[in-house]
């Protein structure tokens, strides 16, 4: 009924204002008649709600990967399929040991690095649209991604933490000898002890694929990856074998970093999952049908791990697909077409496809990103969405703003609440979000906030909070991206 009340009041104010600005005597009956007609038609529409079971922020945990190297989990691995576990950075002991490990402190830090990442992605898209060319700028803000896995590098494999990132391409790890290396939880990789390590020459095709390749006096190919906060990694561009449990993937081009600086939170390096040719899917995708997917579980309510799967098994039967779009100026990101958003079963009038259009010059558009937490929408779209959601939650007690969130509620003392449904309308795919994907805890005292944010940038980002519980399928072979509800079961 909130929609009816809002529209009726708006219409009344509009017509009253119109009458007051007109000159001379006017008969007001036609205007009143129009008002009542509108009120009656809208009042028949009621918002659709769903129940949100309230959970607090998760307590910090210690995660042991001791059993991971033994490859004891093998339900999906085969010659054409591989699977590895994913864990959120907040569960990685090397990360939590660096900071105050209260739930509130970890979440606040998550939002801080998220803001930097979103800015980096937006700047990268804008720079590409202007034909800007320099060293590769990764989408991995502050060097600290959201999800980690543990894979083997070299022969015999040496296992290490790797950050997963769909917003960047180049795969890299820290290597000996280190001119400058940050602290990581595992020993730094020594390429001299790997029988499968091969340095690339400056004239190799793989070296020429780098945006800004370099060359040393020994004709060895050099790479450089720069980050939005000034962090970087520099070293030899080489090939190596990566091991995902018992599956070995050989001849993967990667950066062997000898000069690395930044806050990389214990990880040895990064596994780039972007759409470019030098990402891991770009290089090895043909061996696994050019398909991969991940599921990200809700950390506040599930002890289950998340999984990253390459191969035909990555696609489940209940997946709904939307076409992937191509940005000719920037090939790293996975662009999709967002046509609108519904709140409470009704499309928000102010959110139109034009707000998310990918321009011919490479600006705008919508990307799906594993490393951004909070979904960012262009400002006009966000304001319309926020206002529609606020109308449907007038019965909930408001709370002060928190960090980047401007719509928060005090739900202390409650175990569950009713909130309006929310559906993201992509081309050919309507994705209905669980309530826990958009009304999220920000404290241990019962404060929850609407989990979207606005951005002045033309680039919109679908973040991993909104992806929780879905299996997100990247079917590059079919040029489509899919969402499978309950895909982590």
Q: CB–CB of 306/83 below 8 Å?
A: no
pLDDT digit string (tens) for the chain, length 489 residues: 444 333 333 333 333 333 333 333 333 334 333 333 333 333 335 889 999 888 776 655 555 544 444 433 444 445 566 777 776 655 555 444 554 566 666 666 666 666 666 666 666 566 554 432 222 223 333 334 467 888 999 999 999 988 888 988 999 999 999 999 988 888 999 999 999 999 999 999 999 999 889 999 999 999 998 866 667 899 999 999 999 888 899 999 999 999 998 756 678 998 999 999 999 999 999 999 999 999 887 655 555 667 889 999 999 999 999 999 999 998 999 999 999 999 999 999 999 999 999 999 999 999 999 888 899 999 999 999 999 999 999 999 999 999 899 999 999 999 999 999 999 999 999 999 999 999 999 988 899 999 999 998 899 999 989 998 899 999 999 999 999 998 776
Which is it for the CA torsion 32, 37, 38, 43, positive or negative? Answer: positive
Q: CB–CB of 73/245 below 8 Å?
A: yes
Count CB neighbours of 170 within 10 A.
28
| Dist. CA 483–CA 467, nearest whole Å | 8
Catalytic positions, please?
Answer: 165, 369
Residue 161 is predicted with a pLDDT of 86
Residue 356 is predicted with a pLDDT of 98
User: What single-letter DSSP state applies at residue 191?
Assistant: G
| Dist. CA 299–CA 110, nearest whole Å | 13
Residue 130 is predicted with a pLDDT of 44
State pTM to two decimals: 0.79
- What number of H helices and E strands is found in the chain? 8, 31
Q: Length of the chain in residues, anyone?
A: 489
| Dist. CA 477–CA 480, nearest whole Å | 8
pLDDT digit string (tens) for 390-422?
A: 999 999 999 999 989 999 999 999 999 999 999
| Dist. CA 443–CA 412, nearest whole Å | 10
Using DSSP, state whether 409 is helix, strand or coil.
strand
Q: Where are the beta strands (DSSP E) in 24-134?
A: 49-53, 82-88
Work out the angle between the directed axes of helices 2-21 and 379-391 (0-180°, nearest 10): 110
Q: Which of 252, 91, 92, 61 is nearest to 186 (CA)?
A: 92
Q: What are the residue ranges of helices labelled H in 328-445?
A: 379-391
Residue 61 is predicted with a pLDDT of 54
């Amino acid at each position: 009924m909130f929609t009816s009340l809002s529209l009726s009041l708006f219409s009344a104010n509009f017509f009253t204002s119109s009458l007051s600005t007109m000159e001379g005597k006017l008969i007001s009956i036609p205007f009143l008649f129009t008002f009542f007609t509108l009120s009656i038609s809208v009042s028949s529409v009621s918002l659709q709600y769903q129940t949100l079971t309230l959970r607090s922020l998760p307590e910090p945990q210690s995660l042991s990967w001791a059993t991971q190297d033994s490859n004891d989990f093998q339900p999906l691995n085969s010659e054409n399929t591989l699977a590895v576990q994913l864990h959120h950075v907040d569960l990685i002991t090397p990360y939590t040991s660096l900071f105050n490990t209260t739930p509130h402190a970890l979440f606040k830090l998550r939002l801080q690095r998220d803001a930097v990442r979103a800015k980096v992605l937006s700047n990268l898209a804008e720079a590409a649209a202007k034909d800007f060319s320099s060293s590769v700028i990764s989408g991995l803000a502050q060097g600290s991604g959201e999800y980690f896995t543990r894979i083997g590098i070299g022969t015999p494999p040496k296992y290490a933490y790797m950050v997963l990132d769909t917003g960047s391409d180049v795969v890299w790890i820290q290597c000996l000898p280190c001119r400058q290396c940050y602290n990581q939880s595992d020993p730094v990789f020594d390429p001299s002890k790997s029988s499968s390590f091969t340095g690339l020459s400056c004239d190799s095709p793989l070296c020429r694929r780098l945006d800004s390749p370099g060359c040393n006096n020994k004709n060895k190919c050099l790479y450089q990856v720069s980050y939005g906060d000034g962090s970087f990694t520099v070293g030899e561009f080489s090939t190596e074998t990566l091991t995902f449990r018992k599956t070995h993937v050989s001849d993967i081009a990667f950066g062997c970093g000898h000069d690395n600086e930044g806050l990389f939170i214990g990880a040895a390096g990064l596994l780039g999952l972007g759409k470019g040719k030098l990402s891991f899917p770009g290089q090895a995708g043909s061996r696994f049908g050019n398909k991969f997917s991940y599921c990200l579980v809700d950390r506040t309510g599930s002890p289950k791990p998340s999984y990253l799967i390459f191969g035909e098994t990555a696609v489940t039967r209940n997946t709904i697909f939307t076409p992937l779009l191509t940005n000719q100026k920037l090939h790293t990101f996975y662009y999709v077409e967002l046509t609108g958003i519904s709140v409470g079963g009704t499309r928000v009038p102010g959110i139109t496809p034009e707000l998310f259009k990918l321009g011919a010059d490479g600006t705008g558009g919508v990307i799906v990103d594993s490393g951004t937490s909070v979904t960012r929408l262009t400002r006009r779209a966000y304001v319309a969405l926020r206002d529609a959601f606020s109308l449907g939650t007038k019965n909930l007690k408001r709370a002060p703003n928190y960090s980047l969130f401007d719509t928060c509620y005090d739900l202390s003392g409650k175990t569950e609440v009713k909130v309006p449904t929310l559906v993201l309308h992509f081309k050919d795919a309507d994705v209905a979000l669980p309530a826990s994907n958009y009304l999220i805890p920000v404290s241990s005292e019962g404060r929850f906030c609407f989990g979207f944010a606005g951005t002045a940038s033309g680039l919109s980002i679908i973040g991993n909070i909104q992806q929780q519980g879905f299996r997100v399928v990247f079917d590059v072979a079919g040029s489509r991206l899919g969402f499978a509800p309950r895909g982590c079961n």
